[in-house]
Chain A
């Protein structure tokens, strides 16, 4: 069964301390990989869509990369306002278009 696994479950960083979040997947054909940010009590906010291995996208302090089996969300010099849960979702070819979500990584950035 196709699955999406995110690690770590929780991450605490000091302001300015760069790090990476991981999203790995077992796949029978990738259609797209999606990253979202979710603040407590709110709906997920779209960040990036990646379609093929080697693809990279950037937005402010965030950079998403994709390989054949995993994606990384790199956070450079994070600020306290980057604190949130980061969700990864993957849609697979050969099935429905419905993305499967991981459980997310809860990020806290201390000032």
Chain B
């Protein structure tokens, strides 16, 4: 396993700009999750894919957030019209049903909105 990878690792943007993050899961994992984490808090669930299907979205997820997982491989998370409150660490995790659903996390993308 090469592990979960995320790109970019850091992103600084101005308020109102759009940003897109990429996540490459562990190759044999069919489930992929996006989380957001702010300082002093645990990861907060955003959305979840099983293969290419987006099965669940957090009720807290703004309409400015959209995620895709074409062909059930990598995933992208886009934030439109960024706000300062979007500044956070964005984490991606993947899991496999036959491994007890344990999630393995990537290194995260640190977003700063100025």
User: Closest A-chain residue to B97, C-beta based?
Assistant: A97
Specify which chain B residues have a CB less than 8 angstroms from the CB of A34 in the assembled complex: 102-103
In the complex, whether B65 has a CB less than 8 A from a CB of chain A is no
A104 interface hit (Cβ, 8 Å): yes
**A87 B56 Cβ-Cβ under 8 A:** no
Question: With A98-B45, A101-B43 as given contacts, are A43 and B103 in contact (CB-CB < 8 Å)?
Answer: no
We find that the number of chain A residues with CB closer than 8 angstroms to chain B is: 25
Partner of A49, one of B4, B44, B55, B100: B100
The answer to whether B42 touches A46 (Cβ under 8 A) is no
The reply to whether A102 and B91 form a contact with Cβ atoms under 8 Å apart is no
Closest to B43 in A: A101
The docked-state distance in angstroms from the alpha carbon of A36 to that of B107 is 13
Nearest-Cβ distance from residue A60 to partner chain B, whole angstroms: 18
Bin the interface of chain B by size: 20 to 34
Specify which chain B residues have a CB less than 8 angstroms from the CB of A91 in the assembled complex. Answer: 101
Q: Is B108 an interface residue (CB 8 A)?
A: yes
The residue on B at minimum CB distance from A102 is B42
B106 at the interface (CB under 8 A from A): yes
Chain B residues with Cβ below 8 Å from A98 are 33, 45, 48, 56
Q: Residues of B contacting A16 with CB < 8 Å? A: none
* B48 & A46 in contact (Cβ 8 Å cutoff): no
Pair B103/A46 contact, Cβ less than 8 Å: yes
Could you mark each residue 20-45 of chain B with 1 if its beta carbon is under 8 Å from any beta carbon of chain A, else 0?
00000000000101000000111111
Given A98-B48, A101-B42, A103-B41, A44 and B91 contact (CB-CB distance below 8 Å): yes
* Bound CA span A58–B4, Å: 24
Chain A contact residues, CB within 8 Å of chain B = 4, 31-32, 34, 36, 41-46, 49, 51, 87, 89, 91, 96-104
